[in-house]
Structure 1
Amino acid sequence: MRASFLLGAGLAVLGVVLFIIGLNASQAPMEQVVETFTGRFTDQTMWYMIAGGVVFLGGCVLALRGAR
């Protein structure tokens, strides 16, 4: 296996983990209170979800390019 494929797969897994952390944080009691009053999640929770998505997509692209 190529190193870029392994790195891409690792990044994809890391992206999923970050996204799950963001989803779990969005269900925390204090986060629910903030969302009730402001209508949105805190910046930290949003950054976990955004970063998770970006890292996942980048990892998938790297893994697919490395699989050739």
Structure 2
Amino acid sequence: MSNLLRRLHRDERGAVSFETILIIAAIALPILIFLLKVGWPRIKALWSKGMSDIEGAQNSATQ
């Protein structure tokens, strides 16, 4: 059991992957929060405008 614990403690293969995941998360999380707080209202407004334009075009085409 002692040898297994020593071997696991010395094994650093997973540490590099874990550090990479932490770095990616540290970059992606603030970007995601910014997009949700600042960008979402703009995206929602553009979507609503596009949908109303489509509905208006459909109504004028059927008349």
TM-score, normalised on structure 1?
Answer: 0.37
TM-score, normalised on structure 2?
Answer: 0.39
Q: Which has the higher helix share?
A: 2
Instruction: Choose between structure 1 and 2 for higher RCO, CA contacts under 8 A separated by at least 6 residues.
Output: 1
Work out which of the two has the higher radius of gyration on C-alpha atoms and give 1 or 2: 2
